Structures are given as C-alpha cells and as structure tokens.
Structure 1
Amino acid sequence: MGYLFLAIAIVAEVIATSFLRLTSGDGAKWWAYGIVGVGYAVAFTCLSLSLSRGIPLGIAYAIWAAVGVALVALVSWLAFGETLTWIQVGGILLIIVGVTLVELGGRHP
C-alpha cells in the first residue's frame, strides 16, 4: 500500500509542477494556481502516507525525485515543446540507475 501512495504522490507532484508553467509570464492563468496548490498538497500528503506504510524516507524520496524528474522532462517535451536532448535523456537514465542502486542497497545491508 505504501508504494501505491508513493505513486499517487509522484503523479500529483508531476501534475502540479507541470501546471507551474501556466502560472508564469504575461499569459498566466489564475486557475492554474489552484491546480498547483492542490497537486502539491496531495503529493506531500501521499508521500507522508507512504512513509507511514513502511517505505524508508531515503528510498521514497529517491524514487519520487527520479521518477518526477523523468516525467516532468517528458511532459515538458510533449506538452510544451521544450527541448529534450540525448544528453538530457542520458542524464535522466543515470538518475534512474542511481535510484535503483539506492533501492537495491537499502534492501541488502
């Protein structure tokens, strides 16, 4: 159940972070602020619930950060036409490999 809450936290954080794009500049949308606020509130609540269900903080935060970075980069590329170079893709893959190693190391002390 902890990983379900972590997955919800990641999705909510990616949605909130993606909508930040709509809160900046001359064309800022007032309603996007609500999505950002609710998204982050849900994200932190679900992250807390995942911790209370037994996921260690270091593992949960590493997974959240790595998957969040990867998904926000993908959403930015697909939805907003931002660049995503092969070097950036390589960096994201290295982050994912690093988090996988943290996860594996946590299970086998």
Structure 2
Amino acid sequence: MKTSKARGWLFLIIAIVSEVSASLSLKGALDHPGLYVVVAIGYLVAFAGLALVLRTGMALGVAYGIWGASGVALTAVLSLVIFGEPLTLVMGIGIVVVIAGVLCVELGAQAVHREAAGTSTATTGGIAR
C-alpha cells in the first residue's frame, strides 16, 4: 500500500511539472513556434500522469486539487522569474487561498479514510470533520 501511495505522489509530481512546463512553453511559443511541440507533449504527459495518479487510488478531488493549485502557484511564480510578469499582493493572497482550499480538501479526505478504517470518532451527522 505504501508503494502505491508513493508512486501516486511521484506521478502527481510528474503531472505538475509537465503541466507547468507546458504552460510556460505556451507563453514562449508566441515568439518561438517550435515550442508548441513542448506544449502538446507537456499537456499529454500531465494528463497521463494524472490518470496514473488516480490508478494508485488517490481521490480525484485531492489529486486534481493539488495538481491545479500547484500548477497555478508554480506558473505564477515562474512567470515572474522567467518572463518578468507581475505578481501582486492580491495575486499572492489568491494563491495562498487556493492552496488553503486544497489543504482543506486533503484533510477532509484523510478524515474520511480514518472514519472508513474505524479510527475516527469526530463526526457530526455522518460528515467527517
């Protein structure tokens, strides 16, 4: 079980890196059309990686949430570094809020797994806290 979970996280990292690379390449392809090949391959690898993550048993809401939030955060920061695009305080707060939301989804998923295993006693009306 631990091997499957570790593989899930590895596939998720690959999916995130591929998606961010594809997104950044999309911006670069405006000036260098040859990068559209990198864009297409990056997105294909990202979605294939996400599919592999789901095969390991990670919940869709958790996997997609982490993938999406990480992609947004990394793309925004790397766009600042690579392309000199602005990253305002409001944008930074938005990224933090998105990451906090994903953390809530992950913690909720963990509570459901604990309850299913019979180790959680903190429920209200059948909803895990």
The offset of 1:23, in angstroms, is 2.3
**Relative contact order, higher structure (CA 8 A, sep 6+):** 1
**Separation (CA, whole Å) in 2 of partners of 1:60 and 1:70:** 15
The normalised TM-score by structure 2 is 0.80
Is there any run of 5+ residues in structure 2 with no aligned partner, and where?
Answer: 1-6, 113-129
**Per-residue deviation, 1:29:** 1.3
Paired AA for residue 77 in structure 1:
L
Q: Equivalent residue for 2:29?
A: 23
Instruction: For 1:76-91, list aligned pairs within 5 A.
Output: 76-91=79-94
Distance 1:30 1:23 in 2: 5
Give 5+ residue unaligned stretches, structure 1: none
Identical-residue share of aligned pairs (%): 47
Deviation >4 Å, runs of 4+: none
Equivalences, count: 106
TM-score normalized with structure 1 length: 0.94
Partner of 1:45: 48
C-alpha displacement at 1:22, in angstroms?
Answer: 1.8
Cα distance in structure 2, aligned partners of 1:89 and 1:39? 25
SS in 1 for 2:15: helix
Q: Which residue of 1 aligns with 2:76?
A: 73
Q: 2:107 maps to which residue? A: 104
Once residues 30 and 87 of structure 1 are traced to their aligned partners in structure 2, the CA distance between those partners, rounded to angstroms, is 32
Which residue of the partner structure matches residue 117 of structure 2? none
Report the Cα distance in structure 2 between the residues aligned to 1:86 and 1:23, rounded to whole angstroms: 28
Q: CA-atom RMSD, angstroms?
A: 0.8
Aligned to 1:12: 18
